[in-house]
Amino acid sequence: MKPVDALSQLCAMASPALGAPDLPGISMGLHSLHLRSLSELLLIRNGFYALSQALHVYPLAGGAANDCLLSWNSTELWRAEYGELTDDLFFFAADIFGGQFCLTRSGIGVFNPETAEVEVIASSLEEWARAILDPSRGNILTGYTLSVEWQRKHGQLSAGNRLVPKIPFIFGGKYEVDNLFQLDAVKAMHFYGFLARKTHGLPDGSKIILRVT
């Protein structure tokens, strides 16, 4: 019997598809690298939530206006906030905090929205899916445990929302339920982008004044 691949396993434990199952023109507008495997994933399930909503994979089309792949990667939605810091990246999923999983020229990366730093964690989407499914590594990559704890205390997340730190993590905010609140993902990325631009290139230990108006 042929073993079930990790992408299929991930889809099997996920929510119903967020977008329509019919994907005409799936190759249009997508980053050429890893296109085939991304297409295969979306053909299995066109966008979904998994791991208690800690993982959000964007549908190609047919989902909410702001979370389908092409609109999410457009400069009109939130990427302009980062300027050139998101060049050559194609975002296809998010963790519970709004951290982005992306296609890069070197493989599958994790984009830290507060700093715009990218760490390549896999050479393929299949390897990425295996990492997500690994209990210990997947928890670190998605924030699964905090998602469960937060929702146990506050109730289910609204569709399209992520858990954002009251005190940003880069300023010493703790990865704890009491430091998190739910916010629309687009608004979260605008805030994160502001932080990334203001702090990008500063040496560690720099003093920063954050005025909230």
Count of structural domains within the chain = 1
Pair of tokens at residue 113: 């929205």
d(CA 20, CA 177): 34
> Does 68 map to a domain?
yes
Record the tokens describing residue 90, joined without a space.
Answer: 């194609």
| 190-205: average pLDDT | 80
pTM: 0.89
| Angle, alpha carbons 40-12-20 (nearest 5°) | 55
What average pLDDT does this structure show over 35-57? 89
How does residue 202 score in pLDDT terms, banded at 50, 70 and 90?
Answer: low
Does residue 207 have a pLDDT over 80?
no
Q: Are strands 55-57 and 48-50 parallel, antiparallel or unpaired?
A: antiparallel
Q: Is residue 213 a part of any domain in this protein?
A: no
Per-residue pLDDT at 14: 94
Q: pLDDT band at 139, cuts 50/70/90?
A: very high
Binning pLDDT at 50, 70 and 90, where does residue 1 land? very low
Please give the residue range of the domain that contains residue 52: 6-199
pLDDT score for 82: 94
CA–CA separation, 25 and 23 (whole Å): 6
| pLDDT tens, position by position, 20-29 | 765 555 554 4
The pair phi, psi for residue 46, each rounded to 5°, is: -80, 75
Range name among 27-31, 44-48, 98-102, 178-182 with the lowest pLDDT average: 27-31
- Asked if residue 212 belongs to a domain, the reply is no
User: Is pLDDT of 164 > 70?
Assistant: yes
b/e sequence 176-210, b meaning 16+ C-beta within 10 Å: ebebbebbbbbebbbbbbebbeebeeeeeeeeeee
102-107-113-117 Cα dihedral, nearest 10 degrees: -160
Q: What is the dihedral of CA 117, 67, 191, 156, to 10 degrees?
A: -110
pLDDT at position 70 = 83
* % of the chain residues with pLDDT over 90: 64
Mean pLDDT of 131-141: 94
Whether 205 maps to a domain, the answer reads no
* 115 within domain boundaries: yes
2 has a pLDDT exceeding 50: no
C-alpha 6/C-alpha 127 separation (Å) is: 8
Of 137, 94, 129, which is closest to residue 113 (Cα–Cα)? 94
| Structural domain contains residue 58 | yes
207 assigned to some structural domain: no
Reduced to 3 states, what is the DSSP secondary structure of residue 43?
helix
Is 208 a member of any domain?
no
Contact 180, 168 (CB under 8 A): no
The tokens for 104 are 């890069």
- The stretch 93-114 carries a mean pLDDT of 95
